[in-house]
Structure 1
């Protein structure tokens, strides 16, 4: 899985053209040693703050990983998701995928504060978000990878990009694949990166249609395991309870492993966007099996 998870960190190559807070960022390629001389403790600082945050709240690992994903799918991995509304900027935090949902901003703020004391005006927020995603994966038992560094921070945000580019829980398989292809990612990347749903939570409002009214006919999703559907209905009522949380992977919700894929084989994927990887495309189905059978 390592190769495919690395792909998301490489999206920033050529896709993050602006610089807000980093004096040292040039226009060249990203490389892991970017801060070796200008801020040698940069990666250690990120790792320590993330470790403290995840120890306090295990769910934070998934939130930081998701923050990176939602950043990268809008204008590249440029930290545009961190910007608040101001002047001509309409914050991406207000988009449908992020509103009342995106988390971890205070952890990024803490990392940035420590970083500014250690080496002022040197490390970009975009690189901090990318490193925090990697460290969150490692801390929960997942693979590690070298993070290419040297991203530039955005000077602007894109509310429309956030609303339109990020795959939604009830998108069709083809829509999700198209959104990945627009980022230069293929079907293998789609299935591998979806595996990050082995950690974290989702809100009732993101999957309510599945146990109640998937196709608009008042019937549950026929690809949903019936006993699992009953469990979902107990804490996700037909109306109300929008913010009630459910584990994306009920088997090992805070461990980065392949049980997410095993759940899909059993028709126990929480989100429609998860389960369609197994039910709606032959190539995707075989990839799910590959990951399910081999940790």
Structure 2
């Protein structure tokens, strides 16, 4: 029996507590520091926490190589320097995935596997689906973290998408579930002639910003029609097969005969890490899919896959592709 697996949660919880205390915002690296390090007394006062207990957390962060210490002063290590930025990908990722709202959902994962149950572990915990929870007024902070995290991920992917997505001859484009519009803004930079729209659930009906039109909508109800190109990025893996097919069916209804749909997502490979699938199942009943499963869903929606473009972009969860679909 490997106790490291059993106790691994301690590292995650301690890291979240460290970030949540805002201590990293007062720290820099020792080598590139433009300011002095901070003692435990200084950090405790800045973060308004109990000094003796916080000292234990800082010592553990040193053990994990998050912090280094010299002359009683703590510094971030080079590896974790990004934690000093509240909007870095790493900070946002920690604040989102390890937030108690999502962490607590794992306690219901075992119950969610029951054949009598058709709800995700998250829904069993919070009594409503993930996206409904995010859209509550009192959950705006975590919703903002989620949107900013997705935008950061899009920023990383953008140059790879732009290099491979065929947009020549395209005059109008809509990104379904496009959040804050990072992808469309990037398209506008490289293809300024393309009219770019973004559809997602907003607290307004329609709004213009940076030459992008944002439209409030729900892809389970209806998708705006008449565009040359549609994209749906990192969305289908959020949903079980029946609902993912419903989204594709609504895309089909909105598309003209000569329109194209670009599904930008991971395609599962036999040796891919399995933990991400469990994570998606816990939050959403979602999942990664093999190419054959995308082909099946496309067929059920009246679409066919006409091309697949490798983005040459991978994360620890898998490799991304553009899956081109047409009527």
TM-score range, shorter chain: under 0.3
Give the number of the structure with larger relative contact order, counting CA–CA contacts within 8 Å between residues 6 or more apart.
Answer: 1
Larger radius of gyration: 2
Larger strand fraction of residues: 2
